[in-house]
Amino acid sequence: MIDWPIAELLPHAGDMIFIEQILEFDDDQIRTRLTVRPDGLFSRADGSMPAWVGIELMAQSVAAYAGCHARQRGDGVVLGFLLGTRKFECNVEHFPVGTELTIHGLRSLEDDNGMGVFECHINAPGIHATARLNVFRPPQAAQYLHEPEGVQS
pLDDT in tens, 22-56: 999 999 999 999 999 999 889 999 999 999 999 99
Alpha-carbon gap, residue 87 to 131, rounded angstroms: 5
Helix (H) or strand (E) holding 95, with range, is strand 94-95
In a domain, 148, yes or no: no
- Contact yes or no for 85/132 (Cβ under 8 A): yes
pLDDT in tens, 53-97: 999 999 999 999 999 998 999 888 888 889 999 999 999 999 999
In a domain, 150, yes or no: no
pTM summary value: 0.89
Domain of residue 115: give its range.
6-140
CATH number, residue 87: 3.10.129.10
The domain tally of the chain equals: 1
- Which one, of 9, 3, 136, lies nearest residue 71 by Cα? 9
In a domain, 151, yes or no: no
How many alpha carbons lie under 13 Å from residue 61 in its C-beta half-sphere? 35
Average pLDDT, the chain: 89
- Cα of first residue to Cα of last residue in the chain, in angstroms, is 43
